[in-house]
Structures are given as C-alpha cells and as structure tokens.
Amino acid sequence: MDAQEQNWDDYRLFLAIAQAGSLSGAARLLGVTHSTVFRRLGSFENRIGVRLFERLPSGYALTAAGEAMQPAAARIDDEIAAIRRQVTGQDQRPSGQVRITTTDMLAIGLLPPHLAAFRREWPGIDLELLVSDMRLDLTRREADVALRLGNPVQETLVGRRVGRLAFGVYASAARQRAGIAGDLARNDWIGFGSGHAPLRQALKDWLPGLRPQFRTNSISAAVAAARAGTGLAPLPCAIADPDPELVRVAPFPDDFRLDLWLLTHEDLRQTARIRAFVDFIAEALAAQADLLEGRRPRDGKPAGA
C-alpha cells in the first residue's frame, strides 16, 4: 500500500464501526456525518481489496478479514494514544526553551532582573533573548514571545497589555548641576532617527522648532549619550529614573504614554513553559506600575517636579 493507503484515520474509522456496530454510531464516536463514514469505509475497502464488514439488517458485523484486522488495529491505536499522551505530558511540563524577542531598550533597561528571577523560579526552562528593533515574526516561530511597544496587529497573536511606559526629559547629573536653560528648546538635545515614530512625533508636537544636535536609532545609546552630557534626552521613566547618573528635568506634556504588550502565537499560549513565562513577566511588570508610569522618580519627588 502507498502512503495514502496507510492513513491511520481509516483504521480508526474501522475500529469505530466495529465498536458501534453501525455507521451512525461510528459517526457519533468520530464526530462526523453518517455519509462521511459510509464514503470513507467504501473507499478504504476498495483500496485494500478486502470487505471488512457484512451489511446486515441488524447492523454492521465484522467479516473474517475484519476480525483478523481488529486486534492489531486496536493494539496500534492504543500505542498511538499512549504516544500522544506522552508528548502532551512533556509539553505540559514547565521545561524546554522560551525564545523572547524585544527591543534593545527593554532587553537592557527593563527585563534583566525579571529574567533572572524567572530562572530562579523555573530552573527547567531555558531562555533565549533575541534583541532587535525589527519585529520578528511569531507566526513563523522566529520567536515564542514578544515584549513590544504598541498594540498587536496580527490576528493570530494573543497577549495582554502589561504596562504603560511614561517618558520624561533627562539630563546628566553633571549637566543639571551646571544649569539647564529655562527654555528647553535652547538646550542641546539627543533625538531619534529611524524608528521610534510615536516618540519623535510627540517631541515634534511639543517643541516644533527643536533640532537635536545628536541623533540615534537606539534608546540605549541615547541613555549613554545623556549620561555623558551630550544633551537632554526624551527617555522612558522606568529606565532613566533608577539611573543615578540621570536626572528628570521635565515631564512630557499631554500624558504621553506607550502601551507595553506581551504577545505569543495563539497555538502556543497553552504550552506550559510559555504560559509560565508570560504569567510571570506580566505579574512582575504589574508590580512595577509606578515605575513604568513615571510615578516614582529616584529622588522621591512627584512626577514632573
């Protein structure tokens, strides 16, 4: 028999009819229609060249060939069921690898302590962190979980909003001590080139004539430049407030925030290791809501002070 003739669903159909003694009973067991069972049985018998059932007024009875086939088919069915349980059980144990993708800003400035805490609680789960400002495709399994700014756009992704990132204007502590000009636009600024469109637009709406003297496509690079005294920088409060070398000198107007989403593919959300990771990180970030939303500057002053 060729590969098509060895379709195990045909043998499951055979076992269902043998168990039920009728096509309608087999249809109920398999969750298909009576006509589907009738058609598939005829096709199966034609392919193997053997009649498996006698069609009697009282129902379907096994022929001699059917009786010979039944024990082997039942044994194989039991073995396949055992394999499925074993595989499912493996997948439901919190072990294996979770591949996380996120931006450099979040990978460097936000996630490390949470990843370390996760590994302490779930030592059987290995983590791989893929740092990229380009969005890896979760539908193609380029990563298992994504921590992203902005709402998900792919229908096959599921997730939850795990926080809102507030932004402020920051300067190096040395620059702040030397004095910040009253008009913020008169100071040197660190701006952003490609990427970070919502942040760039918010800055443009606030200070239309602003022309940054230094640009980068990386929040992490902007943090380093601000520490070095290059200029004022629009930065996430959650990353800049804990930094002892940075001082928040002004809030962003209009309550500017960016939503933080934790996403995975819908086919993976019930996998034990994925569920464990998503639940853990969501809870950890929820506990940091004040920091994420800029309500807890390092110096203890109210946000924007």
Digit-coded pLDDT (tens) for 157-188: 788 889 999 999 999 988 887 777 667 888 89
158 near 269, Cβ under 8 Å?
A: yes
Question: Which tens digits make up the pLDDT trace of 13-70?
Answer: 999 999 999 998 888 877 788 888 999 999 999 999 999 999 998 899 999 999 999 9
Q: Where in the chain are the domains?
A: 8-92, 95-305
pTM of the model: 0.64
Fold annotation for 8-92 = Arc Repressor Mutant, subunit A (1.10.10)
- The token duo for 198 is 């919502």
| Whether domain 95-305 has CATH 1.10.10.60 | no
